[in-house]
Structure 1
Amino acid sequence: MWYISTRGMAPRVDFEGALFSGYAPDGGLFMPEELPQLSRETLRQWSALSYPSLVKELCALFIGPELIPRDDLNDLIHQAFRRFRHNEVVHLSRLKNGLNVLELWHGVTYAFKDLSLCCTAQFLQYFLEKREKHITVVVGTSGDTGSAAIESVQGAKNVDIIVLLPKGHCTKIQELQMTTVLKENVHVFGGIGRLLPESVPGGSIPDHTLETTI
């Protein structure tokens, strides 16, 4: 599986390359070069899977076994969801008159972003351990991204995380989630300003006045 930039001006990369690049060199987002085609029979079989099992099947479509063998992939997904409070990870509550509610709040921080970031962190650490490398992740947040990102990598040997939050503009519980994690690889700063950018390349983050919040 190869990934190409939405702007079409960057070399294609594999999953590992896309994972560590974030944005493509031309400023675009990486997307699969081709989307897998699924048969009706496959969809029928998948409809009976648990959420973690479905994630394993979907990830296997986009991450080649030459990068992460299937047994390793299964272990990584299992590790990613081990701290969720509900054994189904994502629970579907069936209410009256055909109304259903999909519960996405059973992760550590109660945010839906726990679902993706816990997997992302497992993939990062897998490749970093194999390559014997270390990275620093910089996160700008308005609340839920920062706490979910922190929980996904807190205590990791190969990853340091720097989180920039808009001081006084997050909810109290979100601010506490970010500023009370006392791990050596977690670094949280409060910025003076309404909102810190979450979705811009690191080199494009404008200057902010920062002060430590721990």
Structure 2
Amino acid sequence: MKNVDPDLDNTSKLYLVPTPIGNLEDITLRAIRILKEVDLILAEDTRTSSKLLKHYNIETPMLSHHMHNEHKMTERITERIAGGEKVALITDAGTPGISDPGFLLTRACIEKGLEVECLPGATAFVPALVNSGFPSDKFVFEGFLPIKKGRQTRLKTLAEETRTIIFYESPHKLNKTLDQFAVYFGEDRLVSVSRELTKMFEETLRGKIIDIKQHFLNNPPKGEIVIILKGADKK
């Protein structure tokens, strides 16, 4: 039996719960409480999430919910919430729905009149943006660029964007992406590249695209990467 405070909200709903992007201490007390109280936790990778849950003595049952099964899982989960259950959705790291599963289930719950609540918490692009030193009053979040189709078109469109631009990238594609940035944005455009945020080997490099590209050619990158690109000069 769960120890649930009778004064707390017992309404059936979907909770979107951010989890640490690296350092396990970067989780709120409320997030821990919610994960202990809900009837079910949907996890992008149950093996990854089990480490976090074990660290905080959370014994709530988990189900796998990821990009390959979220379409067929959505109806099943909304039925459980409609039936009175409280369900939490977490991803491997960060806030659900930000370049991770979450949008489809959230939309389905809203369409069915089910309550959805998103907790504040960790997401990779915010510390990377603030730490870049580029203007953060207005920015554009691009997430992952298209892998093939539409990639060049998107880069051409962004070449004239004057707001700070945020990208996610994998380490094995970073050098290729910086090469393309040099072509479409110019080698002298300023960029900030953050990797392994909140982890032991966290690193942020700032400078011209051409210089950052050379650094990573000499030092192959590891870990998840956030690229912050300074916007184009206003004409």
Q: TM-score range by the shorter chain?
A: under 0.3
Of structures 1 and 2, the one scoring higher in RCO (CA 8 A, sep 6+) is 2
TM-score, normalised on structure 2? 0.25
TM-score, normalised on structure 1? 0.27
